[in-house]
Structures are given as structure tokens and as C-alpha cells.
Amino acid sequence: MISRSPGGDPPAETPILSVENLSKCFGSVDALQEVFFSVDPGEIRAVCGENGAGKSTLVKILTGVHRPDQGTVRINHQTQTLRHPQAAQQQGIALVAQELSLAPHLSVQDNIWLGNRTVPLLHRRPHLRRQARRVLDIIGLDQLDLDRPAGSLTIGERQLVEIARMLARQARVLILDEPTAGLSDVEIERIFTALKELSSRGTTIVYVTHRLGEVFELCDTVTVLRNGKSVRSCRVTEIDRDGLIELMLGQSMREMYPPSRTSTESPLLVVENLKILGWVGDFSLSESSGQIVSIAGQISSGAAQVLRAVAGLAYDATGQVRIRGQPMSLGSVRGAQESGIRFISEDRAQEGIFLKLKVLDNLIATRLGAGFLSWSALHQLASNLARRVGLDDLRLGARAGELSGGNQQKLALGRSMGQEQKGVFLMNEPTRGVDVGSRRDLYKVMRQLCDNGNLIVMTSSDLEEVVGISDIIITMYRGKLVARYARDQVTMHQVLTDITHPRFRPGERKTES
């Protein structure tokens, strides 16, 4: 019941949820303008858009956090005014938020009933236990012990329990806001299986995501938002990846990834026999400058820990690291920096940048020099760096926390740039939470860095990105290196196989480019 009409879809026969002409502005900013869309029961609907396109505003209106300035929300043909989140819950709309909201010390069973308004405070009665078991079975956690504390689960399992909790609340429409951020591919697969199962049982799913691959893998239909407007809603079969990007950006993005190059110079970074207790068994690598090297692996593979160790942030790492042939000791951030290592954390808010400090302070954080500061020189440096990563000079005085995810990442990268000494940039998940437009900018900056004689070693859980941006791809499985490929030697499928179920024992084969 979905046509290709731009700006929304015509009334379907039995939409469970529909919004019409929805608008919302914050101050002078129009967050949403005349948004239309409707979802049928059992449908999986992707909602895509860049940062600032209005996705989160839409989610907040649907879950009763914000109230629209105009327009209506209909649930089962009845116009509803969702005054507060409880009202949305009563209507069967449930949000599985990005930030996990389980109580880590309570059991799975307790967590499932936590915040449920229909059950008594002491919810140990057998029928509640049976019901909790049932919802867990539905989402594929049939092995999970109801009495395990939620804190002992993997992040993926926690996300599933979160979904189970919403099912226990009789949710008819599940809204998921970027549920796969930070999950490994195996865990993502489990979530997808659970969501497909739910959809086949008639639960409607609204799936908000940045990751275009997921749209085609999981969803039936997609609604694209751009600048607060619904640009188009259609079946995923009617559109391809490039078309989707074009809709999100409003312009064609012929080349998301800059062209690849390889280098044959003598190695800039050599890592030998790196061991990290509990993470990495025995890892070695030797790479030349001018390239982007990706280490691909699931969360448990230890890829991110390899970079942390080389950056001096792992305390129990052993092994040899040489930069330009000079040995470097592990365990000292300062020492690593002086050897030319620059680390960009995957956890921007907690470890990457100083959200409460100004953009200026962030850019010069590692560049203060000794003794007294020369503020005029530091200002000059900061505006230089800002320009190089495409940040507006005028925002130097703003707090870093006010920037979008994409701009924050540019800030984190900019801080490490512009030093005379060419070095190694270690980037964990460089584009996590970054919208498509900023992502393209970041890739461009990364490529420029390499062209200037630096080396980038990155990890990413987005395989499309790994295969797209890298010159060299190293796959890891459970703390061991599986293989090393040049970009044109490998397919996404091969990388996925390597990092999930390598058909050989890790470390036995090594493909040299």
C-alpha cells in the first residue's frame, strides 16, 4: 500500500500509526515541517536522515516527550494527543533508546517488569515469570536465565532484553533509535532476527538509523527526512543505496570514498608480538605511511584494544612497537605522543573531547607547549586547525558539547593535526554517530592526511566503511590476526566471514598484498 509519491504516502488501508502534517519548531529553528508518514501493522519502517534532519524530534513526538506545534498523530485511526511519555506507553508505543536503561544489578526478570504500570511492585508471581519467559523466547533469548543480573549480559543481549521489556508492556509499535551502535555483527544479526520475528507476529517497528546497509537488510519500507521534511517514503525494493544517499543529502554523492592508493615505502609503524591480557593473544603489523589501514573485527576481537595499547592507554600490554625504526615503550600516552602517535577515541563524549570546554580549548589541548602560554599563537593555531577539518572559525568560542556528532569528530581529529612531524593516527570507530555528509568530509580529511605522509590505522564495525575507505584491511578474530588484504583483493563477504567464523585457526594464514 505504498506508492512513490514524494512527501509521504497515501492513506493505507489499515495503518496502525500515521502522522499527518506534523510540524515542530524550537525557537526559530524548524525541526519538523509538514511531515507525513504511516505504517501498517507488522511493517518494519526505516527512518533515515542526516543529523539534524529531524529524526530525533519525530521520535520524541511519537513517544510523548515533545508535543507538535501542528499536525496529528493517529494510532489505530484515532487521533491521539500524547501529552507525556506514559500516554505513549498506554497507546502501545514504546521506545528502545540508544542509551541502555537497564538496571545492571537487578535480574533480567526484574528488569523486564521494571517501570511496567500494570504489575504490582513485587512481581514474583508465577504467571509474570512465565510471561517474561515468553517474551524472551520470542526474541530469541530462550537460553537466558531469568535470574541473571542484567549487568552480566553482553551489550547485544541487554539491547534484546530492552526490547523484551517493551513487548511485556504490550507494545504494538516499537521505535528503535540506532539500536546497533556499538554492537558486533553477530549481535546485530541476533537483533535483526528478533525484529523480523516480531514483525511476523504483527508488531510494527520504526527503525531509526544512520547505517544504510541496515535499511536494505532489515526493513520493508523507508522514510527519508531532510531538513525537517519527509522527502520520500517507499519500499526498499524501489530504491538503491545511491538513491537513498541522494535523497538524504539532497544532492548526488558520486564518490563517498576517495580513491585508494598503496605505498611501498619502508614501514612507519611496526608492532610485534603485542599481547594484551584478556584481549589480544599475539598480534603483529608493519605498515608504511600514506595509507589507511583498517583492522576489522567484532567487539570481542580486540581490534580496538590494539590501537589503545599502541596509544599508551592499556596498562597490561606487552610487545614491541617501533616507529620509523625507533622503539617506543608501551603504557605512556606522553611517550607515544612524542613518537608521533595520535589517538582518536571511539568514545567521543567520555574520552575523545572535552564537552564542557570551548572548541578552542579542545583544539589546543595537546599543543600548549611549555611554560607560559602564548594565547595569540594558540588562537592562530586553533583557527588553522579548524579550517583544515572544515569547522567554522566562528565556532571556536562555542562549547564542544553544542556541536553535532560530525563536528565533534572533526574536532577530535583536528586536535591531532598540523604537526610538523608526520605520524600515525590511530582512530577507533572514526565515524560512529556521524551523519553521511560529515562522514564524507572526514574521509576526505583522512585521505589528505595520508597524502601528506601520515599513516592511519583505524578500526570500524561498519564493514561497508572498512571496505570503502581502506587501502589495507586486516581482519581479527578473538585476539588473533586472521588475514591481511589489499583493498581490491577482498570482498565485504570475505571480511565478514573472517571476523565471524574464520574457517581456519586464526594466525595460520597470512595473505600478503
* Residues near other proteins, by CB under 8 A: 311, 313, 333-334, 336-337, 343, 345, 347, 350-357, 361, 364-366, 368-373, 375, 415
Choose between 144 and 341: whose C-beta lies nearer to other proteins. Answer: 341
Choose between 378 and 486: whose C-beta lies nearer to other proteins. Answer: 378
Q: Dihedral, CA atoms, 296, 339, 422, 462, nearest 10 degrees? A: 10
Tell me how far apart the alpha carbons of residues 416 and 352 are, in angstroms, rounded to a whole number.
11
Strands of 40-115, DSSP E? 44-48, 70-75, 78-80, 93-96
Q: How far is the CB of 265 from other proteins (least distance, A)?
A: 27
C-alpha grid cell for residue 139?
A: 526474541
Q: How far is the CB of 303 from other proteins (least distance, A)?
A: 18
Q: How far is the CB of 377 from other proteins (least distance, A)?
A: 13
Q: How far is the CB of 134 from other proteins (least distance, A)?
A: 39
- In the three-class reduction of DSSP (H, G, I as helix; E, B as strand; rest coil), residue 332 is classed as coil
Sheet strand arrangement including 204-209 = 93-96, 173-177, 204-209, 44-48, 221-226, 229-235
Q: How many residues are present in the chain? A: 513
Tell me how far apart the alpha carbons of residues 166 and 182 are, in angstroms, rounded to a whole number.
21
Choose between 195 and 313: whose C-beta lies nearer to other proteins. Answer: 313
Choose between 410 and 447: whose C-beta lies nearer to other proteins. Answer: 410
Q: Which of 62, 106, 66 is nearest to 80 (CA)?
A: 62
Q: Looking at this protein, which amino acid is placed at residue 173? A: V
217 CB neighbour count, 10 Å cutoff: 12
C-alpha grid cell for residue 359?
A: 572548541
Choose between 148 and 399: whose C-beta lies nearer to other proteins. Answer: 399
Q: How far is the CB of 455 from other proteins (least distance, A)?
A: 19
Long-range CB contacts (within 8 A, 24+) of 129-132 = 131/168, 132/108, 132/164, 132/168
Q: How far is the CB of 260 from other proteins (least distance, A)?
A: 29
Choose between 38 and 345: whose C-beta lies nearer to other proteins. Answer: 345
Choose between 277 and 365: whose C-beta lies nearer to other proteins. Answer: 365
Q: How far is the CB of 376 from other proteins (least distance, A)?
A: 12
Tell me how far apart the alpha carbons of residues 386 and 381 are, in angstroms, rounded to a whole number.
9
Q: How far is the CB of 14 from other proteins (least distance, A)?
A: 41
Choose between 133 and 358: whose C-beta lies nearer to other proteins. Answer: 358
Cα–Cα distances (Å) from 444 to 65, 258, 437, in that order, read 38, 7, 11
